[in-house]
């Protein structure tokens, strides 16, 4: 038997066009899953889809352009996928960030983050849950953040939305445990993605190397995490090896949540 196999499973991954989402899509496909990439940026989604198909064949990846904050779009895509397929796994990865304390957070800012990070997760779970119940079970993995449970400066709106994602995870795990649906959260710390590089370049021009090293050293382990490390944890939680795990939150943060005083 092969450990962590997802053969004959179908996974939906939101925000799979780059960074952590791309690593998750590729990792689940390599484990045998058929991966449906739900991505607002069609070009990035197609890049991930092409990379998987080139390596594993055309049946392993499909891309759908969708704004997860728009329930109609999510339901339309869901209906199209379910006409000829199913859903065994949902990974709610899509999300956006905002730097700012309460006074620097406008009503529009707050609404935008809520719609993508919270309502987007709700929309996708809503679209999948009835099929998972009919199938006798399913797996949901929600990407939260260390800031869902630990305060850091200037992340008011982002922390609020990730806290909501975490508590939605607990609620869904409780409500659907008898339906055979497992729901868990992952709370990454600082992960080296294109977003981090863009943030450093935009806010610290000419000091990129210095700031990258400072941001890396904030983690007790002394570096940022990698998208692949997040993807490997997602794979574990989606596999049969994690069959006894539901309603849990996994910090993957280089010790940030528990070792920073």
What residues are annotated to the active site? 158
Q: In the 3-class helix/strand/coil scheme, how is the chain assigned residue by residue?
A: CCCCCCCCCEEEEECCCCHHHHHHHHHHHHCCCEEEEEECCHHHHHHHHHHHHHHHCHHHEEEEECCCCCHHHHHHHHHHHHHHCCCCEEEECCCCCCCECHHHCCHHHHHHHHHHHHHHHHHHHHHHHHHHHHHCCEEEEEECCHHHCCCCCCEHHHHHHHHHHHHHHHHHHHHCHHHCEEEEEEEECCECCHHHHHHHHHHCCCCHHHHHHHHHHCCCCCCCECHHHHHHHHHHHHCHHHCCCCCCEEEECCCHHHHCC
């Amino acid at each position: 038997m092969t450990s962590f196999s997802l053969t004959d499973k179908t996974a939906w991954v939101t925000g799979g066009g780059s960074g952590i989402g791309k690593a998750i899509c590729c990792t689940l496909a390599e484990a045998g899953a058929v991966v449906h990439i739900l991505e607002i940026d069609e070009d990035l989604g197609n890049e991930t889809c092409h990379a998987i198909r080139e390596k594993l064949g055309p049946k392993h990846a499909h891309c759908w352009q969708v704004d997860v904050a728009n329930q109609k779009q999510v339901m339309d895509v869901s209906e199209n996928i379910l006409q000829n397929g199913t859903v065994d796994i949902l990974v709610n990865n899509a999300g956006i960030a905002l730097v700012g304390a309460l006074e620097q957070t406008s009503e529009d800012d707050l609404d935008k983050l809520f719609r993508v990070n919270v309502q987007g997760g709700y929309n996708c779970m809503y679209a999948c849950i009835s099929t998972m119940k009919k199938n006798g079970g399913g797996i949901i993995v929600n990407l939260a953040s260390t800031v869902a449970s630990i305060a850091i400066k200037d992340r008011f709106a982002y922390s609020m939305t990730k806290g909501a994602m975490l508590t939605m995870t607990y609620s869904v795990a409780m409500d659907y445990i008898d339906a055979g649906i497992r729901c868990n959260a992952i709370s990454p710390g600082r992960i080296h993605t294109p977003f981090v590089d863009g943030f450093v370049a935009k806010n610290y021009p000419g000091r990129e190397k210095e700031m990258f090293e400072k941001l890396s050293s904030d983690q007790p382990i002394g570096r940022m995490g990698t998208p692949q490390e997040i993807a490997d944890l997602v794979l574990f939680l989606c596999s049969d090896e994690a069959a006894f795990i539901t309603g849990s939150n996994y910090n993957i943060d280089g010790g940030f949540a528990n070792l920073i005083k």
